[in-house]
Amino acid sequence: MSQLNECLPFVEFPLKPNSKEPKVAGWNTRAPDDLMQEFVEGDNIGLRIEPPLFVVDMDDRRLAALIEEDFPKTLKVVTRRGFHYYFVASNSYPQTSKQSGLIQLLSKGCYVVKPPSKVDGHEYSYLDPNTPIAALDGKAIEKLERTLRALGKYENLIRGFAAFWTEGHRHNLSLWLNGALRKAGLERFEAAVVIKSICLLADDDELRDRLEALKTTYEKDIEEIAGWSRLETELQAIVGVDRARELLSLLPKPKKNEGHAEGPDKPRSRYIVGGEVLDDSSLVEVVEGPRLLVYKDGKFEVHESLEVDGVVYRPPPHIPFPLPGAPAGIGDDVSLWAETKSFIKAHFFHLDDDVYDVLTAAVAWSYFYRDVKASTPYILFLGPWRSGKSRGLEVMEALAYRAIRVVDPSEASLFRCIENFKPTLFIDESQIIDPAVRAVLASGYRFGGKVMRVVDPEAEGFDGIKFFNTYAFVVYASREEPPADIFSRSLTIHCEKNLAPVRKTIDSDRAVELRTRWLAQRLRFHGSIKVGFDEFESDDSRLQEIVSPLKAMAMFFGGPEAAAAVERYGRKVEGEIKAMESVGPEAEVLSVVVEILGEGPLSTDSPIVSVADITRRLNDGGSSVWKPEGVGKILSRLGFEKVRLGGRGLRGYKVDLDRLKRYALRYNIPTDRWQVHFDRTCQTCQTPEISAI
């Protein structure tokens, strides 16, 4: 009845129609010929498994790679939810294993449904009936049995993590789960089965990368591995505290290592990236090693780890930013500003010599901006291809505090990076960032900015929501002018092709020395740097907010000459902004408003101008570029009050003359003629009948 009988003496027996249930008693002991006599039309076919045949029963097709990548190609049956893989044992016959609901091994004493039987409407079929049945030797069978034992042992863990192994979290989950499995004592083979099964069930298309990361984890010294605590933090961000605790309970309890334990019972270990003040008022920084530098009361010590109030602090094993060394001492460093400026000048070219003081101030600011807790400027390197933008980033990255440089970051990676590392953030080619990333950056210039994410839709109360800080000092490069919400927070360094020789490579040893000296200044002046945000006075409040911190750094560390250089550069930017604004749409509309008001005497300090009149003059009688709606939007945005001109269906705006004076100065609009009329009070000027809208 089957081609299988052509190569092996398999025993068939009848199953009930449309069922897996045997139709006859004694199917496992009766003679084959006797069983064949029991078949009638419509019966399903059962195949009694006899040595040397055995079958791997897979209940989920997504796991096919566990068999098909590690064992020879063989005859395969498509079942309702998965596959049956037929094998023969060449020398060592396996024992039946039903430990896992994911994959089972069926040997003597078991049976399977044989094609072309139908169960619940599904017809069992051979994927390729001409495929020969593969033979497995004792070594291969042992590997198969180890795989199935691991699946059975960790099935709940695999299913639990696969449910939340989502894009955007998979990378971190795999790293920290690798470490947790290693520290829990799993053999690398078992851990590989767990990780591979999770990736297959979650349709993770980076399976090879996950397994390579696992290999790297198991090759490292166990003290270098991040494990339970990082996994716990990542899970809490995804599913909330309670669900994270449930998932972690599925892991074997981690082994204790050199006197400190990780796990749900004793979460004593914590990674620290630096810049944190502990409960005993110690300021902790991470220095080369990595090691922990602990500073308190003018003195510091360097440790591999630090225990405070029962918590063991350690530097992360993988730190994404250049580290300083441990300073030789903490005191005056009168040449630090000049030497930092000289380093920048040796590696980065700019025609404007004031730029070097601005960038030196930015380096200093990176070490103190989080202590000021107010707002931070962004630094933009703007220019075409091969104009030195990336070199500017490289030089600043070599000197800045906790500099992390990224290209095309995702929204989630950006705010998680800021939350975890509190870095000076360097972004290259930022013209490709998406709107969600721009929203994070737009909020990040102000201390206290946060993004809110639902991490567990089913959690109640606070557990389902997490707030991530976005406050960060950002230095970025772009070929194009960024959107206004980012550009308005940035001090722009216009880049041009080098006209003078600079070093082709970064002097890394010198950079470490300067970082170390700046760290010493951070320790010395921690908590004592003040910025009033009035150091640079300007009618443009945003520009004042941007330049003031840099000028404060220049005055504090560089002295009056450095502060004067930053002041000069700020004035140049102020002039560029005024020139740009003087030809913008706001300036065009306001120029016409001033023109209208200058044509006759004014009897009120809130005269009315007609939108229709402004639009007509803007279009100069013939063009139709300007529309009344556009004019109205600009006047509303500038803060003028919309009114209805009586009875004619016309719209106008009440012009606050004090506000108009300020705008005229900002947009460089001549006001002489209008000012004469304003100063000359005229009782004959009539005001139209109006009503507020």
Q: What is the DSSP string of 225-268?
A: ---HHHHHHHHHHHH-HHHHHHHHHTSPPPPPBTTB--SSS---
56 pLDDT above the threshold of 80: yes
620 pLDDT above the threshold of 90: no
Residue 144: predicted pLDDT: 93
pLDDT of 290-300, one tens digit each?
A: 999 999 888 99
Instruction: Tell me which DSSP letter residue 689 carries.
Output: P
* Nearest by Cα to 283 from 22, 573, 532, 527: 527
* Least confident window among 53-57, 179-183, 375-379, 509-513: 179-183
Q: What is the CA radius of gyration of the chain?
A: 36
Residue 433: predicted pLDDT: 61
Q: Is 384 exposed, middle or buried (0-12, 13-18, 19+ CB in 10 A)?
A: exposed
Q: Is 542 exposed, middle or buried (0-12, 13-18, 19+ CB in 10 A)?
A: middle
Mean pLDDT of 250-271: 57
Q: How far is CA 37 from CA 8, 34, 167, 471, 475, in A?
A: 20, 5, 56, 80, 83
Question: What's the 3-state SS for 6-49?
Answer: HCCCCEEEEECCCCCCECCCCCCCCCHHHHHCCCCCCCEEEEEC
- Predicted TM-score (pTM) of the model is 0.56
pLDDT of 495-516, one tens digit each?
A: 987 777 888 899 999 999 999 9
Between CA 291 and CA 673 the distance in angstroms is: 70
C-beta atoms surrounding 467 within 10 Å: 12
Identify whether the C-beta of residue 148 lies closer than 8 Å to the C-beta of residue 103: yes
Q: What is the DSSP string of 479-496?
A: SSPPPHHHHTTEEEEE--
Per DSSP (E only), the strands in 446-534 are 450-454, 465-469, 473-478, 490-494
Residue 558: predicted pLDDT: 97
Identify whether the C-beta of residue 486 lies closer than 8 Å to the C-beta of residue 444: no
Residue 648: predicted pLDDT: 62
Identify whether the C-beta of residue 493 lies closer than 8 Å to the C-beta of residue 379: yes
Between CA 432 and CA 429 the distance in angstroms is: 7
Give the residue carrying structure tokens 């005056």. 332
Between CA 660 and CA 634 the distance in angstroms is: 13
Identify whether the C-beta of residue 22 lies closer than 8 Å to the C-beta of residue 49: no
* Least confident window among 33-47, 281-295, 408-422: 408-422
Torsion of CA 608, 614, 616, 620, to 10 degrees: 140
Identify whether the C-beta of residue 646 lies closer than 8 Å to the C-beta of residue 608: no
Identify whether the C-beta of residue 614 lies closer than 8 Å to the C-beta of residue 589: yes
Burial track 282-309 (b if 16+ CB lie within 10 A, e otherwise): bbbbbbbebbbbbbeeeebebeeebeee
Selected residue with higher pLDDT from 218 and 474: 474
Q: Which two tokens stand for residue 310?
A: 């029962």
Residue 494: predicted pLDDT: 93
* Least confident window among 106-110, 203-207, 605-609: 605-609
Residue 622: predicted pLDDT: 66
Angle at 664 between CA 661 and CA 668, to 5 degrees: 150
Residue 680: predicted pLDDT: 46
